[in-house]
Amino acid sequence: MRLWLGVAMFGAFLYGACGSDGGSSVTGGGPFGGNGGSAGAAGSSAGSGGSLAGSGGSFFDSSVPNVQGLQVDPPVVSLVVQNGVATPAQLTARAVLEGGATQEVTARWSIDRLDLAQITAGGGLLTPRGQKGGEGTVTASYTNAEGDEFTAQARVTIRLALEEDLVGLTPGEIGDFDNPDPAPSGTLLYPYDNTVFARGILPPELMWSGGDAGDQYRVSISSTYVDAVTYTHADPPSRFVLPRAWWDQLAESSDGSPITVEVQRRPPGGRALTAAAQRWIIAPGSLRGTIYYWAVNQGKIMKINPGADAPVPAFNPGNHQDLGSPAPVSGYGGESPPWDANGAGERCVACHTVSRDGSRLAALFSACGTANGNCARPWGIVDTATEQIQVMSHYNPAPAIFSALTPNGSHIVVDTATFNMGLADATTAQPMASELDTMSLSVNMAHPQFSPDGRLLAYAANAQGGYPVEFSSSDLEILDAHIGAGAHFSNRRALVAGGGDALAFPTFTPDSRWVMYQRGNYTRASFGVAPPLSTGFNDLFMTLVDGGGTEVRLARTNGDGVLPAKESRRNYQPRINPVSVGGYYWVVFVSPRDYGNRMVSAGDATNDNRKQLWVAAIDADPQPGTDPSHPAFRLPGQLLSDINMDAYWALEPCKQEGTSCSEGYECCTGFCREQGDGTLACVPPPVDECARIGETCTVATDCCDPSAVCVAGLCSIPGPK
């Protein structure tokens, strides 16, 4: 497990008639003809092709005649960075002469992974940056006296070895962990085995049971390019969080292969026990965007970016004693104050939605028990960039409940307490006539949701029960959407029949081909008029838009085989990230399930625990009849003391040129590129260049990676095979 600082040189440098293991090529051209770097790793913008400090061209050296080829010595290099310290490796270029002899020459050097290491352009000294492990290719270029250019390459592997002893163990005590007793160290409680994480989030908190006070632990996490070992105490309730810097290095170095996690216990003065082990995956992509959700106990909309330490309010809803500015467009009858309070003197806001591009948020402002005797809920549009309310709808229509914004936020569909549904202009808050007006007179409709391409509208149909928040049966239907000056809806068709169950909260995958939803006996997690309340049992399912009603149950995300009866079938309100990341779709949903040893229910988790937001990976390009889901993890950063629900995932407002980025979809231009120093920034659309993973595309052939797919206008890694 322990990797020591060093440089391992693999392979023999071959002399004589044998060619170089590093490979070489020759091209005609002038003495300063350019030779680009090799293509970068497919899974990351940081792995883009490039070189350091003027990589184009090669050195002219007329002193070496009759050059036939070029070799790099050594052809394979392995470097280990131990706790941030590494020894550079010196590479040399050797010209292969007529007859097979070789001679060292001055070459120009480049590396295709500037995020991994830098190499002196004229000297061949390779130095790891120390923050990321992985593989790259070094290229040497040389031009002979005749003006012919030769190139050769070497393969470079960089590994990170991270070790920390927080206990102060002796070498003998450390060695004892390598010869354990067969008795188990304990039981891992969280995360779940085979969980898929992503880059860009906080490290998960490992939690386990089975230890005693004073026990010593070795926590080992090993991936393709990183080994991290910590010796620590963890008195019950036992927990451990990998240092943020280590987690970031582990995540940024991930190639998507399984990661081994072991927690091994050693009682003081006793023999170490057999480790409790899990397997994780960290997807090679950053989980960007913003999640907007309702903190029930705070009565306000919060937002959190994956990777943030804590949530913040999405906007200031205003004082509940003020009419507010802007005021509702009409219908408030001069009442002031007309609003319910959230307990902190602010207007209470609850149900909401966000446009796919993250530009606009629509939220409902509660005004129940007012003088007009109506529980009015006008909706307001918030500019997410400025966090300012732009417009408020009519004050006294039938109370609005759930809503859906078009992908660009131009229009909104709103359902009401009477299961009606209508269209409105999101800029003016004025209603717009559409087929929804007459359709909802005969069909109880709820939970509208637009597809990412804006061409479809999914919803719960034929709902039977109280109102859109809670009902006991419904089907899932879909409409073609044509939004513009002549907005209309057509081609109503069934997706899935409920068969007595309630199908609710549909959400689309980024490619608009699949719909995910909850299925259960009741749409609400708990219901009734007095304790003990009844539990609404729900699980998550998917179906193809054109799949003939065939359902796929997301068993692993639902917790099959892991959650006990008191926690199972308690999965609600799925909402999918609008972009595919690292070969997966990502869904955030609500569940009151136990959270390791930090939130543990004695009885029904719905009544004992607080609802929290959970995230799960779904294999991109899922296949009918096969569960594409993975175990969920609790969204880091949210407050465990809050009751959180109704989460929506949207892109952040796009970044301007020159701004730091990690993926192209974060940029207004759609492109995020290496800046020559290992950093990335938004750049103008390149001319006559292919698009890298996370950058803008129209078809898959626009992408540099031949295996990439174009999903929702972005080059994406295909799902696991």
Same domain for 25 and 141, yes or no, is: yes
Please report, for the domain that includes residue 199, its CATH number: 2.60.40.10
- Read off the pTM: 0.89
What letter does residue 27 receive in the DSSP assignment? E
Largest distance between two CA atoms of the chain: 101
DSSP element (H, E) containing 172: helix 171-176
Same domain for 173 and 147, yes or no, is: no
Same domain for 154 and 275, yes or no, is: no
Q: Which residues of the chain have pLDDT under 50?
A: 1-60, 371-372
Using a 10 angstrom Cβ sphere, with 0-12 exposed, 13-18 middle and 19 or more buried, the burial of residue 485 is exposed
Q: Which of 285, 312, 331 represents a domain boundary (last residue)?
A: 285
Same domain for 206 and 131, yes or no, is: no
The answer to the question of residue 235 being in a domain is yes
Question: Structure tokens of 642?
Answer: 């809050």
What letter does residue 246 receive in the DSSP assignment? H
Same domain for 174 and 267, yes or no, is: yes
Question: How many Å apart are CA 301 and CA 314, to the nearest integer?
Answer: 6
The answer to the question of residue 359 being in a domain is no
The answer to the question of residue 102 being in a domain is yes
Same domain for 20 and 135, yes or no, is: yes
The answer to the question of residue 54 being in a domain is yes
Confidence (pLDDT) at 366:
86
Q: Which of 143, 159, 175 represents a domain boundary (last residue)?
A: 159
Question: Structure tokens of 717?
Answer: 């890694």
The answer to the question of residue 230 being in a domain is yes
Same domain for 170 and 269, yes or no, is: yes
Q: pLDDT (tens digit, 9 = 90+) per residue, 40-91? A: 333 333 333 333 333 334 444 556 778 899 999 999 999 999 999 999 999 9
Same domain for 268 and 208, yes or no, is: yes
3-state SS string over 595-634? ECCCECCCCCHHHHCCCEEEEEEEECCCCCCCCCECCCEE
Q: Give the residue from 523, 552, 548, 527 showing the smallest Cα distance to 538.
A: 523
Question: How many Å apart are CA 548 and CA 215, to the nearest integer?
Answer: 57
Same domain for 154 and 58, yes or no, is: yes
Same domain for 107 and 207, yes or no, is: no
Same domain for 50 and 134, yes or no, is: yes
Q: Which of 266, 285, 304 represents a domain boundary (last residue)?
A: 285
The answer to the question of residue 65 being in a domain is yes
The total number of structural domains that make up the chain: 3
Range of the domain at 192: 166-285
Same domain for 152 and 185, yes or no, is: no
How wide is the angle at C-alpha 39 spanned by C-alphas 35 and 40, nearest 5°? 130
650 CB-near residues (< 8 Å, 6+ apart)? 289, 290, 292, 354, 355, 356, 357, 358, 384, 578
What is the three-class DSSP state of 46?
Answer: helix
Confidence (pLDDT) at 34:
35
The answer to the question of residue 269 being in a domain is yes
The answer to the question of residue 224 being in a domain is yes
CA-to-CA dists, residue 141 to 55, 411, 662, angstroms? 9, 56, 30
Q: pLDDT (tens digit, 9 = 90+) per residue, 430-467? A: 999 999 999 988 999 999 999 999 999 999 999 999 89
